[in-house]
Amino acid sequence: MTDIKNKELAMKLKYVQTQRHTIQVDFIDYMDELATLNGCLPDLRCIQPIAALMPISELQCRLVTRVFQGKVKLPCYEEMMTDIKNKELAMKLKYVQTQRHTIQVDYIDYMDELATLNGCLPDLKSLLWSDYMLALNWYFGPFTPYQYRLNGPGKWSGARQAIMTQWDRTFASLKTRPWGFTEPASKKKFLIFYFVFAVAFCFFIQYIFFR
């Protein structure tokens, strides 16, 4: 009986209609039925962040696996629907109402929301007491997903080192030569000659054609 009902709901979802890239209300009703039947219906990556998508997807997967394991309890249906309505209203007020802006999310706010549900959001006060250098780098430095591996489920021992050295990796990409590399003297002379010749040629062209 359960398999038959699953197939019926799958057929309903297959022909869900959208209007201007916005999912209609009846789709929410089907999701409610599936959630009641199977306990949960995750919809990963169905968002459009103003930043990278993959870190959000990774954090979504971490949360969903803990929901499946029964270690995280999601809000009730009424609370989730209220949250959806509030976010839709905020989106309409913030963005131009076009087909493009229907699933927009703010990167940092959304990541913090997922991390709060999953129990892996860093606590600034605790970090200031335990490791103030890490707290300063985390708070004033670039926003990177390593911070959601500092504590809680999925904690990674290398997260602190990754945060403390993220500027080193950023500047490393700008270094085009390995350490200890020196250019031969003949090559330096050639580059100087080439530069002087190019400047002289530009002045010559300007004198001939634009005087």
The reply to whether the predicted model has a pTM over 0.75 is no
At 148-172, the pLDDT tens digits run 999 999 999 999 999 999 988 888 8
Tokens matching residue 16: 């869900």
pLDDT value, residue 69: 86
State the 10-residue block means of pLDDT for the chain, 211 residues long. 49 49 44 47 66 88 87 83 84 77 81 91 89 89 91 92 90 73 66 82 75 59
